[in-house]
Amino acid sequence: MKAYLTRRYWFSASHRLHCKDMSEAENKEAYGKCNNPHGHGHNYSVEVTVAGQVDPKTGMVCNLADMDSFVHEKILQRFDLENLNTLSEFQGVVPTTENLCVELYGILENGFRHAAVEKVRVEETMLNSFEYAGGREARH
């Protein structure tokens, strides 16, 4: 039987939304307060959903210890308490939560081998959330 397991993790990071291809006025227009040159921060919540058959021997889609160790090593250690703009992933890409969500999905999709990655959902604040489940239409 196929089930979907979701685990939520937390990290805190700062970012500044600024596009080099836009004028100063365009940046202010597009990003508002998020364009503050000194940046600002969020407590991000990341929900990772994996899907698969429930293993009859363990009752699990995926051992949580495997998921926790992967996310801790590949995501939390990399992003927690960092300025996203300084990371290699965001040198040519504005670190919006849309782009962060796509990036986190890519890390899981390319590296996690214990279950199929179904979806990543990122909450930037309690009022904003973003989901990505793969597919070619992520960016245009």
Partner 1 sequence: MVYLTRKAEFSASHSYHNPEFSPEENRRIFGKCNNPHGHGHNYTLEVTVKGQVNGRSGFVVDLKQLKDIMNREVIEVLDHRFLNKEIAEFANIIPTTENLAIDIWNRLRTKLKAAELHRVRVYETPDLFVDYFGEA
Tokens at 139, concatenated: 């960016």
Looking at beta carbons only, is 57 or 140 nearer to partner 1?
A: 57
Distance CA 74, CA 125 (A): 22
Min dist. Cβ of residue 18 to partner 1 (A): 32
Q: How many residues does the chain have?
A: 140
Looking at beta carbons only, is 64 or 133 nearer to partner 1?
A: 64
Looking at beta carbons only, is 8 or 40 nearer to partner 1?
A: 8
R_g of the chain computed on alpha carbons: 17
Q: Which of 51, 45, 50 has the alpha carbon at shortest distance from 101?
A: 45
Q: Which residues of 98-133 are buried (b: 16+ CB within 10 A; e: fewer)?
A: bbbbbbbbbbbeeebebbebbbbbbbbeeeeebebe
Looking at beta carbons only, is 50 or 94 nearer to partner 1?
A: 50
Contact residues toward partner 1 (CB under 8 A) are: 1-9, 54, 57-61, 63-65
